[in-house]
Amino acid sequence: MASEKYNLTIKEAVQYFNIGEKNLRKLVANNPTADYILMVGNKILIKRKIFELFIDETGSI
């Protein structure tokens, strides 16, 4: 059984959540301290479970 990744790169998150890359990058840029963002150096990672909750609570992105 393949386990799901805890953190996703921007490109992986785009595919997983079916969101445009520009929209996701804009969302990250406008909310740099959001709980669903993990910065590893200059690399942006999206915390999958927390971002899922964010999407569930948000009406639009």
What would the CATH number be for the domain defined by 7-59? 3.90.105.50
Query: Would strands 37-40 and 7-9 be described as parallel, antiparallel, or unpaired?
Result: unpaired
pLDDT value of position 1: 43
pTM for the structure as a whole: 0.86
Block mean pLDDT (10 aa), the chain, length 61: 82 96 96 96 97 91 79
From residue 47, alpha-carbon distances to 1, 29 in Å are 21, 15
Distance from the first to the final alpha carbon of the chain: 32
Beta carbons of 45 and 38 less than 8 angstroms apart = yes
